[in-house]
Amino acid sequence: MTDKTENQLEELVLQEAIVSATGIHTDMVQVGIKGDPSMRETAIVRERYDSPLDKIYDKLEPVLKDLLLSRGIYQLFIGFNNAEVRTRSLFDPLREEIHAAEKLVESDYVERHFPLITYAEKIDAMRAMYDQLYSSELYRKLPKHWQSIVRKRHDSWEPMKKEEILTIMSALSSMRAMPEYYLRNAIISVVQSVVRLQFNCDGTQIVRAEDFQQFIEDNMPDQA
């Protein structure tokens, strides 16, 4: 491929991605990405409106917490502007499902679509999936530098903690209610232990779950 050593290739793979296979770099609390300049310049003057999700969020928030803590969901996308909720499930890990927020406040709908599993069982199942990959023929087909990345990730992997999920979910409504640069959508990933926050100014913040409280204190002192 190149004249670089396996170690150099591994370092490049881990350094070049915004969020790499091993997560956000350890020296970063958060990563900021600037979006469309015209969106930033007009954010304050654009009229704000309540979406269908805003109208039901007080009922929806505990459901979203339940999906992450007590059901098979390991990644959650919340579209505040369009009331779209996208989920990735341990029970069908390669697919992403799309749900209308209004349906998720119906208990029968949740029970039909999202089987129960304890958080500890979900984490154990994730580890088992990585174990299976690590011992598979597919793993042996990877380049050496990627084998090293997968092995290190497997050995050091720690999921998002339950208390971190609660802290993150409890802060989203306040971010949505901010008067100028408010939250447009959010992605919470239990596997990568990161939160991606996109605001109406088209700016994006990617924050490690363990640093989320610090992020709130730095950017939302009234909510800390």
pLDDT band at 189 (very low <50, low <70, confident <90, very high): very high
CA distance 211 to 75: 18
Name the pTM for this structure: 0.82
Domain assignment present for 6 = no
Structural domain tally of the chain? 1
Q: What are phi and psi of 2, to 5 degrees?
A: -145, 180
| Residues near 157 by beta carbon (within 8 Å), at least 6 away in sequence | 127, 130
pLDDT tops 90 at residue 188: yes
Collapse the DSSP code of 216 into the 3-class scheme (helix H, G, I; strand E, B; otherwise coil) and give the result: helix
In the structure encoding, which two tokens stand for residue 142, read together? 């990877």
Domain assignment present for 11 = no
Domain assignment present for 1 = no
> What domain range is 156 assigned to?
29-219
Q: What are phi and psi of 28, to 5 degrees?
A: -115, 130
Domain assignment present for 16 = no
- Cβ(206)–Cβ(31) below 8 Å: yes
- Tracing tokens 């070049």 back to the chain, one arrives at 16
Mean of the pLDDT values across residues 106-135? 94
Report the sign of the C-alpha dihedral through residues 90, 91, 96, 102, in that order: negative
Q: Strand 194-199 to strand 204-208: parallel, antiparallel, or no bridges (unpaired)?
A: antiparallel
Domain assignment present for 15 = no
pLDDT tops 70 at residue 3: no
Domain assignment present for 115 = yes
Which residues, listed in sequence order, are joined to residue 196 by a DSSP beta bridge?
A: 187, 206
Domain assignment present for 51 = yes
Percent of the chain with pLDDT over 90: 49
List the single range of 14-28, 47-61, 193-207 with lowest mean pLDDT: 14-28
Burial class of residue 101 in the structure, from the number of CB atoms within 10 Å of its CB (0-12 exposed, 13-18 middle, 19+ buried): buried
Collapse the DSSP code of 204 into the 3-class scheme (helix H, G, I; strand E, B; otherwise coil) and give the result: strand
pLDDT tops 60 at residue 19: no
Burial class of residue 71 in the structure, from the number of CB atoms within 10 Å of its CB (0-12 exposed, 13-18 middle, 19+ buried): buried
Domain assignment present for 23 = no
pLDDT tops 60 at residue 176: yes
List the single range of 11-25, 46-60, 93-107 with lowest mean pLDDT: 11-25
pLDDT band at 145 (very low <50, low <70, confident <90, very high): confident
pLDDT tops 80 at residue 125: yes
